[in-house]
Homo-oligomer: A and B are copies of this chain.
């Protein structure tokens, strides 16, 4: 009966993409269900997976929206 919830920012993993692709999502579903089978012996059919895509401006880290945080880190690493 495991439930795996994966929250990711809505952004592409490569040029020209605006979000995770259906293939990437299927890989997350497959991989996390397999993990529960491998580690805790939970049958694949007993695991639910939910992927939640969070808009960039809705995700904060270090007290800043994540886009601002990244800009700041790029500047500081120059």
Complex alpha-carbon distance, A29 and B58, angstroms: 8
- Are A54 and B47 within 8 A (Cβ)? no
Contact-size category for A: 35 or more
Of A22, A28, A53, A54, which is in contact with the most chain B CB atoms at under 10 Å from its CB?
A28
Contact check: which of B5, B24, B42 meets A39 at CB < 8 Å? B24
Query: Can you add 20 more A-B contacts, CB < 8 Å, to A25-B57, A27-B39, A32-B32?
Result: A1-B8, A1-B59, A1-B61, A2-B6, A2-B7, A2-B9, A5-B5, A8-B40, A13-B40, A13-B41, A24-B40, A25-B65, A28-B35, A28-B39, A29-B65, A30-B60, A47-B62, A50-B54, A51-B58, A52-B58
User: B-contacting residues of A (Cβ < 8 Å)?
Assistant: 1-9, 13, 20, 22, 24-36, 38-42, 44-45, 47-54, 57-66, 68
